[in-house]
Structure 1
Amino acid sequence: MTPLMNSMLAGVVAGVLSMLCAALVIYTARPAWVPLLVSYAIGALLGAVFLEILPHAFHHEASPEAVSATVLVGILIFFLLEKLVLWRHVHVHDVAGLEAHAHAHAHEPQGRTGAMVVVGDSVHNFVDGIIIAAAFVSDTRLGMVTALAIIAHELPQEAGDALVLLHSGMSRPRALAFNLFSSMATLVGAVIACLALQSLQKWVPYLLALASASMIYVAVADLIPGLHRRVDLRTSALQMGLIVLGVASIHWAHVLILE
């Protein structure tokens, strides 16, 4: 099989398995579990960023300073985008009633969080497709190992993303549809990379950095503050344990596939 066919097959398999994993989480998780399982999602997001995505970005020819600066700029961009969404939300209501409106909606899930996760995950999956294609172009066996490694670390991350989508207020069918959209980005990235690999390679570290920025922002700015609403010792310990489990699942997926 040609590198293009191998890359397309790997992209389809990765997308289908990710979607099945997300569907399992979306349709089996009870509503009462979601606030606690968001802790796992935080760990999975941060684990994917600091154990997988950024190390890949730093291994490319781009300087660490340039990659780090892209992460910083990305976080600021997502901050401004969120501000714009909030500004638009505020200005469709009567300013005189804003304070009461804000208080009434203080504990509602924020749909923008789910949308930002989809954007970040789509960029990440697109870059995964580029990495798979680059490996298959170099060597078929290397491509297979790379594809397996990417699929292995995608599964726990997709489970975490699915929980974030539910937490953001999306219905189950809509959350699954968004997950399918982001999962198919792997196939798109693989096809485009095979057709224009040389011109895309130099952008890989910066795309990875932007994906990292979106995931860091969602975890730190949108999800972690919600955990502080309950400060009792039992809940705090459970939250910390699930965050660690999310990070560990990314690590184990990486280690197991390499060993």
Structure 2
Amino acid sequence: MDLLIWIIIFSILGGLLSVIIASSFLLLPTHTRQHAVPHLVSFAIGALLGASLLGLLPHAIEHEYVVDPHIIGLTLLIGLLSFFLLEKMVLWRHCHSHHGHEHIPELGEDHHNHHHEQPKKTAGALILIGDGIHNFVDGVLIAAAFLTDVHLGIVTALAIAAHEIPQELGDFVILLHSGYSRRKALYFNMLSSLATVVGAVLGYFLLADMQHILPYILVVAASSFIYIAVADLIPGLQSKVKPSETLQQTSLIAAGVIFIYLAHSTLH
């Protein structure tokens, strides 16, 4: 199959399908969603860490364009610091800060305390704009992974889809609280998710003739995944400290890692 077709299919999987699955959770009772979201987050943490540490970084190091491992490490560090600064600038934060149940207004207390003074409609618009940017970047990362190796592209898209589902669920809840109807929330979220496809297609054409920079793009993707998992998702689980809850979280994180490992090894 033509590589561009692969990229389009899996960028749709990483974006549009995640929105559809997340929207289906809105049909569930609130209590069920309260119970489900932390489990989805735990699994997403494992998928993100697995994709970055078992897939993206090894492929960056083993790329045909040999890269100094020290440069790989430096790029990873710069990537982590860059996402920290982006989050500080509120260009990235809202895309991930509502993964934990305590961050979803319907499931806990105030979401976006730093936006509490803004009108609800404005907050909803900011969510959509930020998600569009985030989805576009995801698309570029999917394209870079596919240009390196089809199997890596599939694993990267699966990891993105895994963490997009709880994210999109949180977005739906926020949009509903911002005054959007269910139909409009679904429509605008699906529209925003198409930015993944746009980013993937542009990434394919822009990066196809720049193979020498692909290792660095893979490292940036890995730093994004690691930052999201460690800085944004894991803290949201720390409020649950009972041994049984910790065991459950650890098991689901491990399940996410194993899922990526099996997907990667099976595809190869």
Same fold, judged at TM 0.5 (above): yes
What is the match of residue 194 of structure 2?
A: 180
State which structure, 1 or 2, has the greater radius of gyration over its C-alpha atoms: 1
Aligned with residue 68 of structure 2, among 63, 69, 74 = 63
The residue aligned with 2:18 is: 22
Please list the CA deviations of residues 16-51 of structure 1 after superposition, one character each: whole Å capped at 9, or x if unmatched: 344464245313334221122111111111111001
Q: CA deviation at 1:164?
A: 2.9
Q: Find the aligned partners of 1:239 and 1:221 in 2 and give their Cα distance.
A: 16
Deviation per CA, 1:210-232, whole angstroms, max 9, x where unpaired? 11112111111111111011111
SS in 1 for 2:204: helix
Instruction: Provide the residue aligned with 2:44 in structure 1.
Output: 41
Matched position secondary structure for 2:239: coil
Query: Residues of 2 paired with 1:68 and 1:151: CA distance?
Result: 24
Question: Which among 51, 68, 84 is matched to residue 89 of structure 2?
Answer: 84
Q: Any unmatched runs of 5+ in structure 2?
A: 95-107, 113-126, 176-184
Alpha-carbon distance in 2 for matches of 1:255, 1:233:
32
2:154 equivalent in structure 1 = 151
- Higher helix fraction (1 or 2): 1
Matches of 1:119 and 1:220, distance apart in 2? 22
What is the root-mean-square deviation of aligned Cα atoms in Å? 3.1
Taking the aligned partners of 2:8 and 2:130, their CA distance within structure 1 comes to 27
Q: Does 1:127 align with 2:144?
A: yes
Change (3 A) 1:254 1:51: same
CA separation of 1:66 and 1:245: change in aligned 2, threshold 3 A? same
What residue number does 1:8 align with? 4
CA contact (8 A) 2:135 2:199 kept: no
Counterpart-to-counterpart distance in 1, 2:78 and 2:215: 14
Aligned length: 218
Tell me, what secondary structure is at the counterpart of 1:85?
coil
Residues 79, 149 of structure 1: alpha-carbon distance in 2 compared, 3 angstrom cutoff: closer
In structure 2, the CA distance between the partners of 1:246 and 1:24, relative to structure 1 (3 Å rule), is farther
Q: Is contact 2:42-2:249 (8 Å) kept? A: yes
Task: Give yes or no for the alignment of 1:189 onto 2:183.
Answer: no
* Amino acid corresponding to residue 79 of structure 2 in structure 1: G
- Supply the AA of the counterpart residue of 1:80: L
C-alpha distance 178-245 of structure 1, shift in aligned 2 (>3 A) = farther
Equivalent pairs: percent with the same residue? 32
Kept in 2, the 8 Å contact 1:38–1:223? The answer is yes
Alpha-carbon separation, structure 2, partners of 1:80 and 1:153: 24
